[in-house]
Structure 1
Amino acid sequence: MMNRGSEWRRWEPHIHTPGTVLNNQFGAVDPWAAYLAALEQVTPKIEAIGVTDYYVTDNYEEVLRQRAAGHLPDVELIFPNIEVRLDVTARSGFVNLHLIVSPEDPNHIDEIRRILTRLRFTAHNDSFDCTRQELIRLGKLADPSISDDHTALAHGATQVKVNFDQLRKVFKESDWAKKNILIAVAGGADDGTSGLRQAADATIRQEIEKFAHIIFASSAAQREFWLGLRSVSVDELRKRYDGCKPCLHGSDAHDLSKVGQPADNRYCWIKGSLTFDALRQACIDPGSRAHIGQEPPSHAMPSQVISQVEIDNALWAATPSIPLNHGLVAIVGARGSGKTALADVIAAGCDAITEAGWNADEDISPSFLVRAQTLIGNAKVTLTWGGGSSITRALDGSDSNEPLAYPRARYLSQQFVEELCSSKGASDGLIREIERVIFEAHTEEQREGSMNFAELLESKTMRFRLSRQREAEAIASISERIAEELEKEGLVAALTTQVAQKKGLVDGYNADLSKLVLKGTQAQATRHAQLSQAAQVLTANIQNLSNQRRTFLTMQDEVKSMRATKAPEMLREVKTRYPLSRLDAGQWSEFLLDYKGDVDKALAGYIVWADQQIANTQGVPPPLGDPNVSLIAAGENLATVKLATLRAEMARLEKFISADKIVREQYAALSLRIAQESAALKTLEARLLDAQLAATRRKALQTEREAAYGRVFDAIVSEQQVLEALYAPLMTRLASSTGTLRKLGFSVSRVVDADKWGEFAEEELIDRRKAGPFSGRGSLVGLANSQLKPAWETGTSAQVQAAMTQFIATYWKALVAHAPYAPMQKQELRDWSRQFAQWLFRTDHITIRYEIAYDSVDIRRLSPGTRGIVLLLLYLALDDADDRPLIIDQPEENLDPKSVFDELVSLFVAAKSKRQVIMVTHNANLVINTDADQIIIADAGPHPSGGLPSITYIAGGLEEAHIRKAVCDILEGGEDAFRERARRLRVRLER
């Protein structure tokens, strides 16, 4: 009542023995000892034997006697294989058919003989059946020279040919035969159905193969054909041949050298207990129950398989020792029978219950161990692993989640699944699990040292996000400069007027000055004017030099600030951005920003130079001398004269221009005013020229800004490509998958909130009350969606640039016209212009998003049940990196039976070949249609007050009758599942 269920065991379904009726090459002197020794010593060991002979069971009975005498200790199942020849010609003989008989009926030998008496052959004007005596009689009639019965038996066996229609009729008319005999046909060309190649033989070949339960063939091509993996689908096999069929193969030994040694080590493996029912089950599930090869099909690594569960110090555990199968273990039972209790116990032994799981509210938690925590006492569980190691854990959680503990299994408890798949929406946990699987689909090299998906994503995209950030900052800076240039452009008219006015003012002052000059002093006045102009030039030079000097001083301050504050902070930021560089302090010091040259020495020199230039231009006032003698020679170049000398000479000449002191003072004051206004005129003219060139500079800056805007989208596209590359390994696998896996998809896209972009301008930047194209709410939003959003979402950087350029060209003036300020509000308009330009080229409304979809529906919008399918899809089909046992409590929760059948069955079938899967379920589909390798049936006794009920477990495989009966009694399912269950459990449905 307690075993590991269905395990792969080597069968020898087609082997002859010494004394076989035909082609006996075992020798005449005591061949049985050598024969039995060969069978006992063969490796891999044989545990089930189909003793084969033509029409008789004599040698089968002899093998039974030999085992009863102590031989063949490893062989638990021996059954007769009755070989007959049909009256259908193959390539080099006749088609061989095998009656494989169950030994379960104590009278099976008599019953098979009764069946053979009904198979008749007509010859020599007489009728013969296929029993021993009749074959001897036929042999002697066919060759009267034969007197020995054994020789006559052999000759008679070569003569008789069984009519296929007769055999089929006898089989169908016998309830005993249908219950106890499986029909096998040779699939080879020499003596099998493959030898029926003529068109006329097609129908008889199909009829024979349809009648057979088993094909004796060892080639991969035959096996794949009969599993529906070749030219004929499973549905076609059902229509034409009554379904898929297992291919079996034996040594067909007729001599000692071939005993248990089939060609090319093509051994026959059957998964199940050593009962005839295991062979019946292989006929129902040939793909997962029968195999030809040197080794049985691979499964989970032994070190990652729990082979034994031992529960200690627990009176409630009436079955303290439970062996586990390495494949799919289904724990079933009525509600409250202790199914989840066993799953919890196994998970606790694997350190697979999270801290949150242990600390859950015992009143609402579905966990047995949490709800029973106060009653568990000192109970412990010891798990023994396939590799030989063992681990013991307390069942009250007292030694769980230690710092160095590692979950040796993944436990999808009801609480875990509910949290990840709740109807409140896809939780972050489900997304994280999906990202984990995506991350683990990458090789170690591809992970680049990252520990999880978030780190890998950060590592891969950081470069482009920083590039986007830098370009966005550059756009903001350029927009500021464009706003300044636009402001200057707007000053051209005003500056032109101011220059004209200033010129008129200077001309007026010069006219006034000429009126103050007395007759006879015009020469002095003219000379004074020349000196004044030269002095103005020098004064301007001194002013420029002073400005330079102040700039040099400011630059000195900036150099100090850069070294003391900015450069160290920038280095710290770089270190933070690039932690994976693994540079040491010395290497990082090379990245500390500093100036290429000796700027301290240079700036100090520039200041000294400026001081010298100012002093040299200023000069030293000349000593007082004869007022009638000029301080400057008549032919001297005034550009070379110092400012102090020029001013002294101007003061000397002013005394000659008018004798009147007041007039002289007026002349001096007016000359100074002319000098000042002339300097102001030069400044205005310089500003005007700067303003006139602003349009050219603005256009260049706009081009530069558009290029930077394009580079932002280059960074966005690059980030998008990086994300697509992250999904590439999984996408490649999904693209080549079939069935449920193909429904899962991943996509990376730009998500554009054009409404947000447009609404910001409508609410903050434009006045919708003004008449114009943007007077109504949503007008700008509509244009953004129709003219910019398509390029933002899918366009290249060049296409985005082109779309924005076209948008600006078309709507700029209209947008400016909707500015919320009047033209005379110069400062407000200037501030608005800056904000407007920064808004226009912002990109914070564009993000990169990766979506996970199932059946073309985003995971965030899936129902809880479908999210459960996605979750199981991850763990069962995609999580290849995790080979630990997978423990699942009721995976069918929230799913209808059809969804379980359509979506989950194939996932469990595929998963159990790679990892141990232990599931608690009520659903028949998940037990029977997955062909679970082991069924553990839980049963709980009465619940005593203040204690735990006694829980009992029994375990076995579907090939065991008592397990099938319990499964049929316990489980439920939809109509289709119920009918499929009946077929697999071999029970008749009553209508």
Structure 2
Amino acid sequence: MINRGSEWHRWEPHIHAPGTLFNNQFKGPNAWSDYFTSLEQAAPVIRAIAVTDYYCTDTYQHFVREMKENGRLPEVALVFPNVELRLDVATVKERWTNIHLLVCPDDPKHVSEVERFLSRLRFEAFGDNFACTREDLAKLARKSKPELTDERAAFRHGASQFKVNFGKLREEYGRSDWAKENILIAVAGAETDGTSGIRDANDATLRQEIEKFAHVIFASSPAQRDFWLGRKSGVGEDLLRERYDGCKPCLHGSDAHEQTTVAKPDGNRYSWIKGALEFDALRQAYIDPAGRAYVGPHPPFRATPARVVAEVELTGADWAQTPKLALNPGLVAIIGARGSGKTALADAIAAGCDATDGRLSNASFIVRAREHLDGVGVRLSWETGDPSVRPLLDDSFDPSLYPRARYLSQKFVEELCSADGLNDELLNEIERVIFEAHSTLERDGATDFGELLELRTIVLRDNRDRDEEAIETLSDQIGLEREKQSQIAGLKSQITQKDALIADYIKSRDKLVTAGSAERVARLNALTEAADYVRTQIRLWSQESQALRSLQNDVSDFRTNRAPMALRTTKQNFVGAHLDDTSWEVFRQTYAGNVDGTLTERLAKAEKATAGWRGKELPRKASDQEPFVADDAELKQLSLGELEAEIGRIQRLINIDTDTANRLRTITTKIGDENAALKRLKDSLADCEGAAARTTQLQSDREKAYLRVFESIAAEEQVLHALYRPLMDRLAQASGTLRKLSFSVSRHADVHRWATEGEGLFDKRRTGPFKGVGTLEAWADALLKPAWESGDPKAVAEAMAGFRQAHQAELLDLSEVPRSQQADYRSWLRRFAKWLYGTSHIEISYSIDYEAVDIRKLSPGTRGIVLLLLYLALDDSDDRPLIIDQPEENLDPKSIFDELVELFIAAKNVRQVIMVTHNANLVVNTDADQVIVAFSGTHTPGKLPPIRYLSGGLENADMRKHVCDILEGGERAFKERARRLRVRLDR
């Protein structure tokens, strides 16, 4: 029992031989030799043959004798009899329905036993009752044709008259333990001589009963095979179980009656059976028709040959009594008692595939037995390609080596499914599968999920960041504008006070003027007003000059520092654009026009204007009676020097004493200063009175920016939906366990965080709807959360606008800073607005759900199911061998049966799966292709115990016994499988 277990082999289940009782067209003296030559030269090679004859096993016995005596058919490992009978049920083609007894050759007395069974079948004719024996069939023939004297001819004619009653056949089969154990029933499905030809409505029930009784259907068309596997629309496995006792394997033989058709079925529709070359493989095909029987030119496609470990060999290991094992390309189950060497084999295979790095725990064989493994190596032979040879201990692991298998060791599974929380690696694995579900054309050159997500969302996230910054800036500006509005009353009061003060100064000045000088006072007032105007011009032009100089400095700084820095940042952010330095230069920020010329020209103009308005200080004239300014001069066009000289002259003429002149000069100066201050106050008032309109516009802009943030969020959601779409579409079309898995994308609003941040700004002791801890969160849950999490951008903006309009005043009243403390309150307002319109608490989340529960909330056992679902059913792109150590850990038996069995069955059809297991369901109900049984011998201190292995398929009775003896629930698993499939598993 050292073999690869269940493999696909070509069988010939229905072929006649020279001397067959009816329609024997094998002619010539070398008929048998030619017949064997045709079988030997058949391609693909035939490994099992059911020699067919009518009502007897004559040609089978001759076939076996010829084969043994002449050393023919060296490739054929199994020959067994196929006894063809005709039921007393007619077809529309005026033929009789054929039924076949496929007889197990294991019993040395199988020929005599099947003849004894045939003898129980009866046919009534000529007032007599005839048994299905050679003697009685000859008697029946002579009753019909007395002239028949040749025994062979009489036997043939009697057989042609003998029709087996279906009811009697079924009854005798049910009464015979030997028949039930050693005979499988096959019925032809053809229209000519099979059940398809039973068309009479009155016989519909009889047809169904015949097909229900059969274990095998001789049929070759894809449509018939789909029907009998429950794959045809409207049929299904449940209907087949109800009407026909389950699914049936379809087989097809050449049904050769002449040399030209030997081993040449129509359309190259060869029969393939997966299993050892023994009759039990046919029984297993009845148990699992979809997985073990196939009709076609080639056997079903399995794992990619280049990805199949065909053989594992331990070198330099004196403890390995079975150093070399061949491995099946399908599902390999390694079983054995605790400490028998199961994990040792899995570790060795994984090490040979460079797949153990970071996957081994302290409980692994390689770690525990480290001191005994010096010089031990593992050699893997692949079905194609060169062997790989590795030391079992490889401390110089090269991380650049690509693992040629995926190893789910106990440590790896435990970490990914830990109860401590969802491990990042499980999410990474899920995202890898999502990424690989996209075609290479859809990946935008990305190499992993994170990179693809970044490529698809970077613009959206940048937009969101910019709009969030804009919201913050706008909120600051709104705060400033609100503060300006609060200053209007104060500014108006100051202007009134300033007007009164200036009036008082004028009255005081008037009192200093002596009588008779009214004209001079009027002239002085005109000159003073003009001087105030000129000073304003000087101030404005001086300010412009200073601003222009600052702007020149800013231009220089932009060119020298900011533009180069911006270009470097852009290069870093968009390195994927792959532009060369020359191309990048066009992205350097610069000014569109001749800013230097403009600034130089404007600065010269401003400085000239300033100098012109300032003028020069004029020297005092010899007589104050000589004016500096003509009486008809346009005073507001004169320089300040001229005006001040004339003002001084007039003041000297009005006042003769120095003290009075100084006082008049002082008051006149103050009047000028106060007029300038009054002008500034009026400018500020005009600015503050315009704040309301600006605030409205800024609030509108902020709401638009808030809307754009959620447009970016919604767009990112759509990107995620698009990324998951291929896998989601596949899950929507799946059946069974796969349908329990789903992917969802959603917005999550951390309302508690948002409300807590807000409450930190408020005096929660005050009365009102938001008094106390938690009330704000309750309001937000009701009014904002639905829109935040599921509303479109417009709905979110409307919800926030409604909340602000309804409650902003109440919230502002809760300020922890008194409004009287203007600077602090202004700072508080900014923090309030930044919080209210903040979106940092809004996140896009995606979840992988199993039965509508986020995997982050699943138990470790259920996470294990998701993990295996991922690797076994969804990871289509990974065709490497999958090695799993005890996938049943943390899972209950029902979950294993309900959730995992179908996953392993599906996976083994596309990749090699090697698993260590203690669970019988994962061996029996997955119909493991190969079972490797590990045994360990007596342990000598200081040495490893000897380890040996047995290997074979479940079609082998001895292997089934090992499964029952070793695995808990082994016998129960076999019985459950038999009950579920309504079959007998006596052997």
TM-score range, shorter chain: over 0.9
- Secondary structure in 2 matching 1:722: helix
Rounded to whole Å, the distance in 2 between the matches of 1:472 and 1:422 is 38
The reply to whether residue 558 of structure 1 matches residue 548 of structure 2 is no
* Residues 1:424 and 1:870: Cα distance change in structure 2 (over 3 Å): same
Q: Which moved more, 1:306-315 or 1:528-537?
A: 528-537
Shift of 1:140: 4.3
> Hey, what does 1:880 align to over in structure 2?
876
Shift of 1:987: 5.2
Match for 1:767: what amino acid? Answer: D
Q: Deviations over 1:796-835 (max 9, x none)?
A: 1111111111111111111111112333222221111111
- Secondary structure in 1 matching 2:773: coil
Q: Deviations over 1:321-374 (max 9, x none)?
A: 1000000000011111111110011111111101x345x5xxxx2201110001
Contact (CA 8 Å) 1:187, 1:216: kept in 2 or not? Answer: yes
Shift of 1:474: 0.7
> Hey, what does 1:964 align to over in structure 2?
960
Partner of residue 842 from structure 1, selected from 820, 823, 838: 838
Rounded to whole Å, the distance in 2 between the matches of 1:145 and 1:621 is 163
> Hey, what does 1:599 align to over in structure 2?
595
Q: Deviations over 1:679-737 (max 9, x none)?
A: 11111111111111100000100000011111111111112222222211111111111
The reply to whether residue 747 of structure 1 matches residue 750 of structure 2 is no
Shift of 1:302: 0.5
Rounded to whole Å, the distance in 1 between the matches of 2:602 and 2:64 is 115
Match for 2:266: what amino acid? Answer: A
Rounded to whole Å, the distance in 2 between the matches of 1:943 and 1:465 is 63
Partner of residue 682 from structure 1, selected from 679, 690, 702: 679
The reply to whether residue 345 of structure 1 matches residue 339 of structure 2 is no
Shift of 1:514: 3.0
> Hey, what does 2:896 align to over in structure 1?
900
- Secondary structure in 1 matching 2:891: coil
* Residues 1:975 and 1:945: Cα distance change in structure 2 (over 3 Å): closer
Q: Deviations over 1:588-613 (max 9, x none)?
A: 33323222234334333332222112
> Hey, what does 1:793 align to over in structure 2?
789
Rounded to whole Å, the distance in 2 between the matches of 1:571 and 1:259 is 81
- What pairs with 1:608-619 in structure 2 (closer than 5 Å)? 608-619=604-615
Shift of 1:136: 3.8
Shift of 1:278: 0.6
The reply to whether residue 826 of structure 1 matches residue 822 of structure 2 is yes
Rounded to whole Å, the distance in 1 between the matches of 2:830 and 2:410 is 57
> Hey, what does 2:49 align to over in structure 1?
49
> Hey, what does 2:220 align to over in structure 1?
218
Match for 2:109: what amino acid? Answer: N
Shift of 1:676: 1.3
The reply to whether residue 204 of structure 1 matches residue 206 of structure 2 is yes
Match for 2:67: what amino acid? Answer: R
Rounded to whole Å, the distance in 1 between the matches of 2:301 and 2:819 is 83
The reply to whether residue 375 of structure 1 matches residue 372 of structure 2 is yes
Contact (CA 8 Å) 1:10, 1:45: kept in 2 or not? Answer: yes
> Hey, what does 1:710 align to over in structure 2?
707
Shift of 1:290: 0.4
Partner of residue 122 from structure 1, selected from 118, 121, 124: 124
Q: Deviations over 1:897-939 (max 9, x none)?
A: 1111001000000000111000001111000100000010100
Contact (CA 8 Å) 1:410, 1:887: kept in 2 or not? Answer: yes
Contact (CA 8 Å) 1:338, 1:940: kept in 2 or not? Answer: yes
Compute the RMSD of aligned alpha carbons.
2.1
> Hey, what does 2:180 align to over in structure 1?
178
Partner of residue 256 from structure 2, selected from 253, 262, 277: 253
Partner of residue 458 from structure 1, selected from 450, 454, 460: 454
Shift of 1:647: 2.2
Q: Deviations over 1:587-643 (max 9, x none)?
A: 333323222234334333332222112112223345655643433333333333223
Rounded to whole Å, the distance in 2 between the matches of 1:140 and 1:13 is 33
Q: Which moved more, 1:640-649 or 1:839-848?
A: 640-649
Partner of residue 666 from structure 1, selected from 656, 659, 663: 663
Rounded to whole Å, the distance in 2 between the matches of 1:589 and 1:954 is 72
Match for 1:167: what amino acid? Answer: L
Contact (CA 8 Å) 2:3, 2:326: kept in 1 or not? Answer: yes
Q: Which moved more, 1:276-285 or 1:259-268?
A: 259-268
The reply to whether residue 327 of structure 1 matches residue 323 of structure 2 is no
> Hey, what does 1:169 align to over in structure 2?
171
Contact (CA 8 Å) 2:974, 2:985: kept in 1 or not? Answer: no
- Identical aligned residues as a percent: 52
The reply to whether residue 38 of structure 1 matches residue 44 of structure 2 is no
- Where do 5+ consecutive residues of structure 1 fail to align? none
> Hey, what does 2:629 align to over in structure 1?
632
> Hey, what does 1:139 align to over in structure 2?
141
Rounded to whole Å, the distance in 1 between the matches of 2:159 and 2:599 is 118
> Hey, what does 1:83 align to over in structure 2?
84
The reply to whether residue 435 of structure 1 matches residue 437 of structure 2 is no
Rounded to whole Å, the distance in 2 between the matches of 1:680 and 1:311 is 99
Rounded to whole Å, the distance in 2 between the matches of 1:372 and 1:564 is 67
> Hey, what does 1:807 align to over in structure 2?
803
Q: Deviations over 1:140-187 (max 9, x none)?
A: 443456555544444333322111111112222222211111111111
Contact (CA 8 Å) 1:897, 1:974: kept in 2 or not? Answer: no
> Hey, what does 1:107 align to over in structure 2?
109
Rounded to whole Å, the distance in 2 between the matches of 1:890 and 1:658 is 115
Rounded to whole Å, the distance in 2 between the matches of 1:216 and 1:345 is 44
> Hey, what does 1:655 align to over in structure 2?
652
- Where do 5+ consecutive residues of structure 2 fail to align? none
Contact (CA 8 Å) 1:929, 1:981: kept in 2 or not? Answer: yes
Rounded to whole Å, the distance in 1 between the matches of 2:61 and 2:839 is 87
- Secondary structure in 1 matching 2:89: strand
Q: Deviations over 1:40-59 (max 9, x none)?
A: 22211111111112112222
> Hey, what does 1:278 align to over in structure 2?
281
Q: Which moved more, 1:635-644 or 1:276-285?
A: 635-644
Aligned length, in residue pairs: 981
Q: Structure 1 length normalisation: TM-score?
A: 0.96
> Hey, what does 2:6 align to over in structure 1?
6
Shift of 1:988: 5.6
- What pairs with 1:729-744 in structure 2 (closer than 5 Å)? 729-744=726-741
- Secondary structure in 2 matching 1:374: helix
- Secondary structure in 2 matching 1:47: strand
Match for 1:44: what amino acid? Answer: P
Contact (CA 8 Å) 1:13, 1:249: kept in 2 or not? Answer: yes
Contact (CA 8 Å) 2:624, 2:653: kept in 1 or not? Answer: no
Rounded to whole Å, the distance in 2 between the matches of 1:976 and 1:513 is 120
Q: Which moved more, 1:36-45 or 1:895-904?
A: 36-45
Rounded to whole Å, the distance in 1 between the matches of 2:229 and 2:968 is 28
Match for 2:802: what amino acid? Answer: Q
Rounded to whole Å, the distance in 1 between the matches of 2:449 and 2:786 is 30
> Hey, what does 1:576 align to over in structure 2?
572
* Residues 1:111 and 1:773: Cα distance change in structure 2 (over 3 Å): closer
> Hey, what does 1:389 align to over in structure 2?
386
Q: Which moved more, 1:576-585 or 1:823-832?
A: 576-585
- Secondary structure in 1 matching 2:102: strand
Match for 1:98: what amino acid? Answer: H
Shift of 1:25: 2.9
* Residues 1:770 and 1:171: Cα distance change in structure 2 (over 3 Å): closer
* Residues 1:109 and 1:978: Cα distance change in structure 2 (over 3 Å): closer
Rounded to whole Å, the distance in 1 between the matches of 2:908 and 2:181 is 31
Shift of 1:103: 1.4
Q: Deviations over 1:553-591 (max 9, x none)?
A: 222332233333333333333333333222333333332
Partner of residue 540 from structure 1, selected from 536, 543, 554: 536
- Secondary structure in 1 matching 2:784: helix
* Residues 1:910 and 1:280: Cα distance change in structure 2 (over 3 Å): same
Rounded to whole Å, the distance in 1 between the matches of 2:645 and 2:464 is 63
